[in-house]
Structure 1
Amino acid sequence: MEDKTNKKQKNSTGSSQNYTHNPYDTKIEMYGQKYNYHQITTHNDYVDYFMKRYMEQVIWYDKKAVINKNLFMWYQRIVIFLGALIPIIVAVGGYVPAIKEYSGLMSAIISGVIAVVAALDKLQQPMSNWYNYRNIAENLKKEQYYYDFKIPPYQGLNEMAMKRLFVERIEGTVASDINRFLQGVQNQDDEDDNPTDDILKKNPPPIS
């Protein structure tokens, strides 16, 4: 009896020495739906990378894409709605004295709100961020299919070489986005450090 119980304990713990639970049973909730890590990969020896790095990056970029898309759409809705509201106020003011009295003030307030929203849209650039985050998220997902079906550049490689190449390409994709962000910050700093450039463009010195 003791030998049998020992064997059962060894069998139950021998396959999960590195994990207290089956990592593929782990589920995360995103946008009201639950995702299973088993749908992402079935490579036990690289489960830490897939779960803690790859999957987190896919979720992060996908979430950022949705946030920026919604932000861009809301900015556009506000501008369109308020922009159409100004001529309506002017037209209705011709028939309603109460509105006519304050039509100028109302139009000025609405124009100011439109200017603020347009400035926020230009400052935050949600449309370009939306496209960029969605592109990276889809590229990360696509890379995993290339790996699973051994599509070039994974075709003809052994398992270890495929894994190394996969990690290199994933990290390269993430690094390129970080470099793009840093380059954008540097360019913005350069523009802020040289405000005279814009002044000279608008007011060029006279030619002698």
Structure 2
Amino acid sequence: MNTEKFQEYLKERYYDQIKWYETKSSRSNNWYNRIQLALIVFSAMTPVLIAIEWGLSPSSLLKWFPIVTSVLVAILTSALKTFKFQENWISYRTTCETLKKEIHFYEAGVGDYADAEDKQALFVDRVENLISRENTLWLSVHKEQIRRGNKV
């Protein structure tokens, strides 16, 4: 592999994939943390709202607060299970960090790169295998969810 093609690969594929995995990891992490915080708040509020003697008329809207918070807990818990924000965050972050590590090994000429005849071709092959493995894992997880009827 010549240097020009390798630089093009780095620019158009490798760094693009790192950016994609960083973005997806960050978004999944943010969603996971927000939903977890909301679950903590709503779960803590529900028994308090039930225990409070509102002294309100039966037609008061405040009597619905405990019911609403309970429903929100159920919805948010289902969203965490369905969309797998934590699992995606960890998977995307792991792939991203593994991709980043690969270029350091390449540049330092260590590991498999120490004795490689064509270090650039080896780098491309290893990076594509990492990306392919992540894609295959993602596909198998989603096929299993569809098979179980968890996701359409």
Structure 1-normalised TM-score?
0.66
Q: In the aligned structure 1, how far is the partner of 2:57 from the partner of 2:10?
A: 62
Percentage of matched positions with identical amino acids: 23
* Counterpart residue identity of residue 183, structure 1: S
1:69, 1:127 within 8 Å by CA — same for their partners in 2? yes
Unaligned runs of 5+ in 1: 1-42, 193-208
Over the aligned positions, Cα root-mean-square deviation in angstroms equals 2.0
When the two structures are aligned, how many residues end up with a matched partner? Answer: 147
1:113 aligns with 2:85: no
1:186 aligns with 2:146: no
- Equivalence for 1:79: 39
Match of 2:115 among 138, 156, 168: 156
Kindly report which structure 2 residues correspond to 1:124-135, keeping only aligned pairs within 5 A, or say none: 124-135=83-94
Q: In the aligned structure 2, how far is the partner of 1:181 from the partner of 1:157?
A: 31
1:97 aligns with 2:55: yes
1:165 aligns with 2:122: yes
The structure whose residues are more often helix, as a share, is: 2
Q: Deviations over 1:128-163 (max 9, x none)?
A: 0000000000000000000000011100224xx111
Q: Deviations over 1:17-56 (max 9, x none)?
A: xxxxxxxxxxxxxxxxxxxxxxxxxx54521100000000
Q: In the aligned structure 1, how far is the partner of 2:48 from the partner of 2:147?
A: 43
Larger Rg over CA atoms: 1
Unaligned runs of 5+ in 2: none
Q: Which moved more, 1:144-153 or 1:79-88?
A: 79-88
Structure 2-normalised TM-score?
0.88
1:177: Cα distance to partner? 0.8
Kindly report which structure 2 residues correspond to 1:28-47, keeping only aligned pairs within 5 A, or say none: 44-47=4-7
